[in-house]
Amino acid sequence: MQLIIGMGQTGFSAGRFFQRRGEAFVVADTRGDEAPREAWLRAFGQGTVFDGELAADMFDAPALQGVTGIVLSPGLDPAAAPLRQVLAEAARRGLRVESDIALALRHARIPYLLVTGSNGKSTVTALTAELLTALGYRVGIGGNYGTPALDLLAEPADVLVLEISSFQLEACRVDDIHARAATVLNISADHLDRHGTIDVYAALKQKLLVNAETALINMDDPIVREMASVCQGRLVGFSADPEADGMPVRHHFFLDADGEALCRDDQVILDGASLVLPGSHNRLNVLATLALVEAFAGREALGNAALQRTLTAFAGLPHRMQVVCSRSAKGADIRFINDSKATNVGAAIAAVEGLAAAGVDHQVVIVGGQAKGQSFDELARTLSLHADAVALIGEDAAAIEESLRQAESEQAPLAHRADSMADAVTWAAGRAEELARKGGSIAVLLSPACASFDMFRGYADRGECFARASEAVCVGVNEPAAEVMS
């Protein structure tokens, strides 16, 4: 019998998986009366819920006799009580503990491509799936993005494309991961409130690469470069720098010296100017995507006309460098860009630097929220270099403001503490109109560098609030304050 801990989305998917296989299972949840017990019983029937408390002695209960393995929800911190004690007892009893991803990869009977990293995972996962679909393959896409991986096993597919989070990798053994191709796009400080150090965080991400047939290495990221030493398969590199070297890669995907053409070895694959996807950092994401596609479909696939049409039409995902609206002021064009999915410092830096590299002359940036244990010093340096003004929101606005004060810069950006998203957007739009007098292109960018739960239901809710406020500014009406959670 299997014990599922957590009645969330992955818990339900594990229940469906065991139900299809005819295996006995029972679920436990840390939330007590707040758990969706009735929904679970409707789905799986009586006798599938453990009503006792999570504790080390729970395995002595009659309902849990015969448990041989545990599927652990990635949303639960294994180091937190009472789960820490439960898992210690499980280890003492020799029970296998794994995440839904580990279980899915052990039982997958088709090739799979794995994507992780601090930033860009969802974009690369979605684009890879779209390109493979354009080539005529049946693609299962999910994992941390969309459909749980265990549910994908029930659908006919030629290949799985899975986004993987560090939380899912905590209960995942290296020997259970054998990807056709895998990539760690980049590493920056994230989820340190759970993982403790960036070294622990990076070690979790590295698990995907060890046994991959093709390991795709970001040659511009020093932490990812170090991971190449543990890879057992062939190495393929991608980088913004055409001269990047020092690694024995089989192939090198890169941007040309002007940062425009997307190249593989000595061949140009695509003119970057034909991409709708904004930001120079997204050109790196496209390079990683093309390398993943080649690893599965072969070199000739990159020249396929349907693939190229799909690639050039791909505009990105909601809340990821999404242009919400634009307006003209004093002859200048002001674009309002929703990058609410930037929930860590590295993502926000990539967005700001990407706009600067793309030729945006002035930026007004909205940042703030819950820090998750991050330092804001590097973000402050980037904002000091590229932002004309910064609107600060949320729980850790003061910490970002202090980092801006401490940043070594000849001209620090103007900063404003905003009480709501509507306030932040209105202020940012005002600063953008003032900058319009200088001419050039202007971006009002929401790229918070933080989690959103202090003010919003999630990053999507935060992005939607930004979009509503921006659209109101663009058409010249006032955004109702009641639409912003606080």
Residues marked active site are found at 121, 144, 191
Strands 261-264, 362-368: parallel, antiparallel or unpaired by DSSP?
Answer: unpaired
In angstroms, the CA 178 to CA 172 distance is 12
What ranges in 238-373 are assigned the alpha helix state H? 280-297, 305-313, 345-357
In angstroms, the CA 441 to CA 358 distance is 10
Q: Amino acid identity, residue 96?
A: R
> Which tokens is 483 given?
């639409």
In angstroms, the CA 24 to CA 148 distance is 20
On whether the CB atoms of residues 413 and 387 are closer than 8 A, the answer is yes
**What does each C-alpha distance from 322 to 368, 383, 449 come to in angstroms?**
18, 20, 16
In angstroms, the CA 125 to CA 152 distance is 15
Residue 440's SS3 state is coil
On whether the CB atoms of residues 85 and 56 are closer than 8 A, the answer is yes
In angstroms, the CA 469 to CA 480 distance is 8
CA nearest to 164, candidates 132, 122, 123 = 122
For residue 278, count CB atoms less than 10 angstroms from its CB and return exposed for 0-12, middle for 13-18, buried for 19 or more: buried
In angstroms, the CA 413 to CA 486 distance is 26
Residue 143's SS3 state is strand
In angstroms, the CA 267 to CA 164 distance is 31
On whether the CB atoms of residues 186 and 285 are closer than 8 A, the answer is no
Q: What is the DSSP string of 82-105?
A: THHHHHHHHHHTT-EEE-HHHHHH
Helices 345-357, 377-386: inter-axial angle, 10-degree rounding: 20
Looking at residue 229, what DSSP letter applies?
G
CA nearest to 116, candidates 292, 367, 249 = 292
Q: What is the DSSP string of 443-471?
A: EEEE--SSB-TTTSSSHHHHHHHHHHHHH
What is the phi/psi pair of residue 284, to 5°? Answer: -65, -40
On whether the CB atoms of residues 100 and 14 are closer than 8 A, the answer is yes
> Which tokens is 253 given?
């995907």
